[in-house]
Structure 1
Amino acid sequence: MRLSKTFSVLGLLLGAILFALSLTPSLIPRTALMQGVLAGTSFTFGYVIGLFMHWLWNYFELPDIPLSPGVRRVLKRLALVACICLIIIFLWQGAHWQNSVRALMGMQPVTGIGPFTVGSVALLVFLTFWVMGKGFRRVIHAVTKYLSVHIPERVALLIGLLVAVALYWGILNGVLLKVGVHIVSVIWEKHDQAIAEGLKAPEDPNKVGGADSLLTWKSVGHQGRRFLTLGPSVEDIREVAGLGKEPIRVFVGLRAAETPLQRAFLALAELKRLNAFDREILLIATPTGEGWLDPGAINSLEFLYRGDVATVATQYSFLPSPIALLTDNQYGLDSARALFKVIYEYWEELPVETRPRLYLFGLSLGAQLSEASFDFYDIIDDPIDGVLWAGPPFGTGIWRIITDSRDPGTPAWLPQFKGGEVVRFGNQYGGYLGQEPWGSFRIAFLQHASDPIVFFDLRWMFQMPDWLERPRGPDVSPDLYWFPIVTMLQLLADLNLGIAPLGFGHRYAPEGYVLAWMALTEPPDWSDEELKRLREKLRTYPVR
């Protein structure tokens, strides 16, 4: 068969196995397009492993299995038939596996996963990698052939490999990535400048962006204008809680000043102008890459404290979080640290009896930057009241230390640490448990067991995740099993957030924030009926 002459049969067989396993469920549902990309990538990994095993066999000059040419042809054909059957069987089972995830998230079941789309996309992905691999080998061969006349062949081969790696890395990273980032930067910067219809500058001169404000309406940026405009009004708060006042929101855009420190001092000046330090709660919120702050987080806190809240944030990038993480991460750190330092130092000098309770908040990249915005040793003499970090990405920093050192018998997806004296974890169902009283300084992590942003780790390529141990999170499919390489690729595909509904995956719902803020800050005088009205009201606000 021509197929067996062009491709490695062992590679095809291992590729088919990994292709099939990639169809099993992961943390969130997948579209047919994403499943095709995942299946094609998995197939490529299996194929490369097969090629490497074949090369290793020949490198050590191991003898071939003594078989006649006819038997070899039959075995190759049987292997190819087995590959096709395996793929078809798993494609047929794919809908059941996807529905096992969808059912946990309250989604409608699907009758199929688009096998034609999955197969076509997977084939295109594999062929793309295959062509790139052929080109890689040709570069190595050309360099080796040229140099082997002058130097030992193995040295020439090593140099050829290094040249090929340098060439491909230079093209992918030095050209394609930079050009792509530049194009995205131009698009998102223009998007940030555009003033959307309905987001008009406030008529009240005292509000941010108004006539008496230190900040112009244009300088706060697109996400800043949404943040300042689309929150609850005093009428909304009174409708739910009976009493209320207008919340204070301050957002300093990237164009408002040249440096993070200058923007931080602008934020402080605006807070002082608006008498924000007279409020009961002062919240320093760290946005995601383009300046977005989760409305559910801020709205819920403002309702719970009947508007007696001041929230401040500064923008550090125009780019979406994944790109900002690669390009503007240090600038984001500088911005978060500058804002915390300026606000904290002013707050620290205020009378303890009358100053507001100070909290920090961040979601995703915002949580990572918020965590890095202060040093515990800097606040140990006069600690803030607490922090809420939602969906911390990739298990880094404090999250990793605490999760790895959790109390025995507690699951990785909802751990307890030293009885919950300082740190507690919760999710959309509750949590925030502890055997010890929660102290005056509190750290709360809000995380879904189905959030791939939180639980992704390269270790899962060859190690089973501890969050797959029983009992599992209530939103994790019982049909999810760990497979070497494949599970890590599945989680990598899940990072695109898939089609998970609000309240699952990396999409945090207002109801989850209500539970978190209730546990962390303990707002007084909320009846069950009022909380029910609050949850219903929060659903009427935009989630983006």
Structure 2
Amino acid sequence: MFSVLPLLAGLLFLAASLTPSLIPRDWLMQGVLAGVSMAAGYVMTQFLLALWRALELPVMKGRPARIAHAVLAVPVLVLLGRGVILSGTWQNSIRARMGMPDLEVNNTAKMLALALAVFLVLFVIGKAIQALFDLLRLRLARYIPVRSANVLGLLLAALIVITLTRDGVVNWAMRIADSSYAAAQHLTDPNVAPPGEPWQSGSVASGIDWELMGKPGRDFVLGGPRARAISGFTGRPAREPLRIYVGLAQDKDPDTRAKVALDEMLRVGAFDRKVLVLASPTGTGWMDPASYDALEYMHGGDVATVAVQYSYLQSPLALIFETEAGLDQTTALMRAVYDHWRHLPPDRRPRLYLHGISLGAWSSMYAFNPFQMMNEPVAGAFWVGPPFPSTLWRQANDARQPGSRFVLPELDEDEVIRYASQYAPPDRSGREWGRLRILFLQYGSDPIVFYDPASLWRAPEWMREAPAPDVSPRLRFTPVVTQLQLAVDMLVSTSAPPGFGHTYHARDYIDGWVAVTAPEGWTAADTERLKAICGQDGKLGCANG
């Protein structure tokens, strides 16, 4: 039933999948990854053998083949045994860096059983595809030469599988995901009434429909510190922060949603504030309170933040299946807000900042047009966890100084663009910022940032450097398997504790906002006091500080 060489290759891939990557894996995710890796090794080797035979190259048979298989099996089984024994130690090497408890030792058997089950399911699917290919090529061979029938049968089988997968399974799964996430937007406490203050989005006086705002928007509008809490922290009078949020259900057209947001900004006086933040949410529309709460504290509440939702999906799914939605929406909002802002008198308009987290960082970067802003630039941008396809982020990385690390680049004199992590604050160089301040906050263990499609066949650039402090020194590159590991890492990137992976900590937002916005009269002691009330005891923000 099983071919020996492909099976040995599959076991080798399984062993390699047990090595650590960026995010710790429990037995469930490791079992799935191991099964998929084993299937990938099996299929690839089977394909190479089929190609070898198609080229009519000599094939070892009989007793010599059995002896060769036995010889090859020894090192493969040794490596597999070593991987199984050390898999817990490897995963704990990441968990220790993230302050997580060690894995339970009795999970290995469950992981291997799941890996085998996943492999068998994929093996059966593969056999079904092979049967389809055989059926097509044999039917075609009745009318055309055998070699042509084989080629055409392969192409037809591939076309059928791709069509069924893309238009059938994938579309079905996306409809289910989209409807479930859309339903989740309305999972809010029915006792929570719309805001009572007229200056709040979703209130009776607002042009934004409270029921169409969605749960992420409602949480954002109702959350955050009030003026009284801010004043208690600063010891000075404070203003009520303005939070404007337009839900995806408000209108199907991104330009219309952008206009609704601009009208709301004008209604509540957002352009009269000291700081104006043009924010782009994550894929689901979530706005991380750890970031926005801290900014409002450090500027005495004299802040207006505007955001428009563009998707219901989690960022990894939205990144793949709804790429244009976020880019179009943030561009429309940027165009509307910036056009109004630049026509205001320079001494009477707020400092305008761009901000985005995860997929929001990518869309915010996409909307940033330096040629359009050359004469009237924004004050700065703070982009957190920028996804790997982000063009501006990649261009900045490519322009880093020779010898500068890929995970934490240095550019020129740090006058415009800087990088920071949980171990490297943005002002560590001590140099002066320029007129425009752009900051990338990224963790070395964040797969959303450091996933590399080319890791299918070569090690990513960051893997060829000394590992970041939050990355296991036991991480190793294996073709194909590393690609699968990083893909799984992306799916579970937010399972890491705050301060690691794709879960950004309040303290790092605080350092970032202080560096980018330079709050008036702010001191290092103020930074430490704010950190003491933000992100503590499992809180996401600092609203109750």
Q: TM-score, normalised by structure 2?
A: 0.93
- Structure 2 counterparts to residues 28-39 of structure 1, below 5 A: 28-39=23-34
2:244 counterpart of 1:250? yes
Give the C-alpha shift of residue 471 in structure 1: 3.4
Q: 1:439 aligns with which of 434, 455, 463?
A: 434
| Displacement of 1:196 | 2.3
1:477 paired to 2:472: yes
Report the 3-state secondary structure (helix = DSSP H, G, I; strand = E; otherwise coil) of the residue aligned with 1:218: coil
2:421 alignment partner AA? N
> Is it true that 1:509 corresponds to 2:502 in the alignment?
no
| Inter-partner Cα distance in structure 2 for 1:52 and 1:260 | 46
Task: Write the distance in 1 (CA, Å) between the matches of 2:17 and 2:106.
Answer: 13
Question: Structure 2 counterpart of 1:260, which letter?
Answer: P
Match of 2:19 in 1: 24
Q: Tell me the CA shift for residue 262 of structure 1.
A: 2.0
Moved more, 378-387 or 85-94: 85-94
Partner of 2:267: 273
- Which position in structure 2 is the counterpart of 1:55? 50
Change in Cα spacing, 1:309 to 1:347, as seen in structure 2 (3 Å) is same
Measure how far apart 1:237 and its partner are.
Answer: 1.5
The Cα of 1:79 is off from its aligned counterpart by 4.7
Name the residue aligned to 1:177: 170
1:484-517 per-residue CA deviation (whole Å, 9 max, x = no partner) reads 2222211111011253111100111111111111
Identity level (%): 39
Q: Does residue 211 of structure 2 align to residue 215 of structure 1?
A: no
Separation in 1, partners of 2:193, 2:528: 32
Point out the more displaced range, 218-227 or 387-396.
387-396
Distance 1:216 1:68, change over 3 A: closer
Give distance in 1, aligned partners of 2:6 and 2:241.
62
| Deviation, structure 1 residue 229 | 0.9
1:190 paired residue number: 183
Native 8 Å contact 1:199 1:229 kept in 2: no
Q: d(CA) in 2 for partners of 1:134 and 1:464?
A: 32
1:267-291 superposed Cα distances (whole Å, 9 cap, x missing partner): 1222122222221100000011221
Change (3 A) 1:172 1:113: farther
User: 1:263 is matched with which residue?
Assistant: 257
1:53 shift after superposition: 3.4
Deviates more, 1:472-481 or 1:109-118: 109-118
- Per-residue CA shift, 1:169-195, capped at 9, x if unaligned? 121111111111112222222222343
Q: Pick from 304, 309, 319 the counterpart of residue 315 of structure 1.
A: 309
| Structure 1 residues 353-409: Cα deviation after superposition (integer angstroms, max 9, x where no partner) | 121100010111111111111321111110111111111112430111221231111
Residue of structure 2 in register with 1:500 after alignment:
496
- The Cα shift of 1:435 comes to 8.3
* 1:130 and 2:127 are equivalent in the alignment: no
Question: What are structure 1's unaligned runs of at least 5 residues?
Answer: 1-5
Contact 1:195–1:218 under 8 Å retained in 2 = no
Residue range with higher mean Cα deviation, 447-456 or 531-540:
531-540
Distance 1:258 1:458, change over 3 A: closer
Partner letter of residue 533 of structure 2? K
Q: What is the match of residue 531 of structure 2?
A: 535
Equivalent position to 1:448, from 433, 436, 443: 443
- For 1:419, which of 398, 413, 416 is the aligned residue? 413
> Contact between 1:420 and 1:435, CA under 8 Å: does it hold in 2?
no
Decide whether aligned partners of structure 1 residues 158 and 440 sit closer, same or farther in structure 2, where only a CA change above 3 A counts.
Answer: same
Residue 227 (structure 1) aligned with residue 223 (structure 2)? no
| Cα deviation, residue 257, structure 1 | 3.4
The alpha carbon displacement at 1:325 in A equals: 3.0
Q: Does 1:200 align with 2:169?
A: no
- SS of the equivalent of 1:114 reads helix
State the match for 1:3 in structure 2. Answer: none
Structure 2 CA distance, aligned partners of 1:161 and 1:56? 12
Aligned to 2:422: 428
2: CA distance between counterparts of 1:449 and 1:102? 14
Q: CA deviation at 1:111?
A: 4.4
Counterpart-to-counterpart distance in 2, 1:105 and 1:122: 26
Q: Which amino acid aligns with 2:303?
A: V
Partner of 2:294: 300
1:88 and 2:88 correspond: no
Distance across 1 between alignment mates of 2:138 and 2:56: 22
* Equivalent residue, structure 2, for 1:9: 4
Q: Is the contact between residue 22 and residue 472 of structure 2 (CA under 8 Å) also seen in structure 1? A: yes
Between Structure 1 and Structure 2, how many residues are aligned? 537
Q: CA deviation at 1:128?
A: 1.9
3-state DSSP of counterpart to 2:306: strand
**CA–CA separation in structure 1 for the residues paired with 2:174 and 2:198:** 38
CA contact (8 A) 2:366 2:392 kept: no
Q: How does 1:397-416 map to 2 (within 5 A)?
A: 397-416=391-410
Distance in 2, matches of 1:26 and 1:507, equals 16
**How far off its partner does 1:264 sit?**
1.6
What CA deviation, in whole Å up to 9, does each residue of 1:457-482 have, x standing for no partner?
Answer: 11112222221234331111111122
Separation (CA, whole Å) in 1 of partners of 2:314 and 2:100? 27
Query: C-alpha distance in 2, partners of 1:367/1:338?
Result: 15
1:419 aligns to what SS in structure 2?
Answer: coil
- Mapped pair 1:377 → 2:377: no
Cα 1:229–1:427 change in 2 (3 A) is same
In 2, Cα distance between equivalents of 1:64 and 1:287? 57
Contact 2:415-2:432 at 8 Å conserved across structures: yes
- Verify: 1:350 aligned to 2:339, yes or no: no
Residues 316 and 491 in structure 2, CA contact (< 8 A), matched pair in contact too = no
Query: What displacement does 1:343 show?
Result: 0.8
Q: Distance in 2 between matches of 1:199 and 1:440?
A: 43
Aligned-residue offset at 1:94: 0.8
State whether structure 2 residue 150 is matched by structure 1 residue 153.
no
**Structure 1 counterpart of 2:326, from 308, 329, 332:** 332
Per the alignment, do residues 374 and 74 of structure 1 end up closer, same or farther by CA in structure 2, a change over 3 Å counting?
Answer: closer
Q: Residues 295 and 54 of structure 1: is their aligned pair in 2 closer, same or farther, counting only changes over 3 Å?
A: same
5+ residue gaps, structure 2, are: none
The residue type equivalent to 1:442 in the other structure is R
RMSD over aligned Cα atoms: 2.1
Contact 2:416 2:433 in 1 (8 A): yes
Q: Report the secondary structure of 2:23's partner residue.
A: coil
Worse-matched range after superposition: 385-394 or 317-326 = 317-326
